[in-house]
Amino acid sequence: MRFLKFFENAPFRLYLGIALVALFVLVGVILPWFAPSDPLTWYTAPRNQNPSATYLLGTTSLGQDIFWLLTWALRNSLILGLTVAFFSTVIGVFLGLAAGYAGGWVDRVLSFLMDALLCIPTLPILILMAALFGGQLALPIIGIALALFNWPYPARQVRAVALTMREREFINVAWFSGESSVRILVRHIFPYIAGWSAANFINTVLVGISTESALAVIGLSSAQQATLGTMIYWAINYQALLAERYIWVGAPVVAIVLMFIGLFLVSSGLSMQSAARRMSV
């Protein structure tokens, strides 16, 4: 089991992070199916309840069950983060390899594109889009935009690896022994970028959820879907703070903080582990 071998002597933070993230994924993926009713609908529960056995985290002043609302928000935020990370990683790895291998003007154009995209702040552009497209952005559009802005991070790293790989002896050996370039990519180069790509993937999940939430907190994300950010926005907008209903706003805040700490532990643990393994090989 080559996959399991990766986790031998892994740092403690990796396990802690995986446990935290797994907890949130379970809550976000499995629990929403058991919600007694659509938690977004108003007045499905009595208003302004304190936490109790029936309403684990109490209810909002709009008569929504905060616990079930939170599970739905988690699910949507996770879906968004994972989609953004998936597409950025795929585009990034592909274009990074292309730039590193092709060299010449392809490399120059792609590298410029990466550098340029890296120093364009994403949030203002999303705000502009939201303002122009009717005050709110649907989640799929936010996802596409974020993927378009986040692929340069993996692409730069993969390009750097591809550049050094071109010069390595064992790649030449593989070439001359007649292996196809696809096989070389998969068998010899992919192991070098896999650990780092996984770390970057997790990090992009974090950035995706964080940016959507930032947009949502100021009310510019989708109002039809609950995400962690829109939950905070609703709480602030319906004066949860002035009414001292801190659980309403506190639940998504605590969820974001814990989940992000978990994601960060996984991503930094993964990169520590793959760096350590590269040293030992």
Partner 1 sequence: MRLLRYIAGRLVVYLLVVVFGLTVLFFVPRLGPTDPIEAMLAKVASQGAYMDASQVDRLRESLADTFGLSGTLLEQYWAFIKRILLTGDFGPSLSMYPTPVMELIMNALPWTFGLLLTSTLIAWVLGNFVGLLSGWKPEGTSSRVMEGIAICLYPIPYYILALVLSILFSYVWKIFPLTTTIRGAPWSWDLVTSILWNSFLPGASIVIVVFGWWVISVKAQTTAIKEEEFVRYARLKGLGDGRILTHYVLPNAILPQITFLALQIGLMFNGSLITEILFDYPGLGLLIYSAVLQGDFNLLMGTISLSVIAVATATMVIDLIYPLIDPRIRHR
Q: Which residues bind partner 1 (CB under 8 A)?
A: 13, 112-113, 115-116, 118-125, 127-135, 206-207, 210-211, 213-214, 217-218, 220, 232, 241-242, 244, 246, 249-250, 253, 256-257, 260-261, 263-265, 268
Q: Which residues pair with 65 in a beta bridge?
A: 59
CB of 140 to partner 1, least distance (A): 13
Q: Which helix (H) or strand (E) holds 178?
A: none
Could you give the angle at the alpha carbon of 77 between the alpha carbons of 18 and 21, nearest 5°?
Answer: 10
> What is the nearest approach in angstroms of partner 1 to the Cβ of residue 47?
21
Minimum CB distance to partner 1, residue 218 (Å)? 5
Q: Which C-beta is closer to partner 1: that of 172 or that of 237? A: 237
Estimate the crossing angle of helix 152-167 against helix 66-102, to 10 degrees.
Answer: 30
Nearer to partner 1, 118 or 173 (CB): 118
Looking at beta carbons only, is 88 or 174 nearer to partner 1?
88
Is the Cβ of residue 45 or residue 156 nearer to partner 1 in the bound state? 156
HSE on the CB side for 281, CA within 13 Å? 10
Minimum distance from residue 56 beta carbon to partner 1 (Å):
21
Query: Least distance to partner 1 from the beta carbon of 38, Å?
Result: 27
Task: Closer to partner 1 by CB, 43 or 133: give it.
Answer: 133
Query: Look-up: residue for tokens 């974090």?
Result: 206
Q: Give least dist CB 236 to partner 1, A.
A: 8
In terms of CB distance, is 45 or 152 closer to partner 1?
152
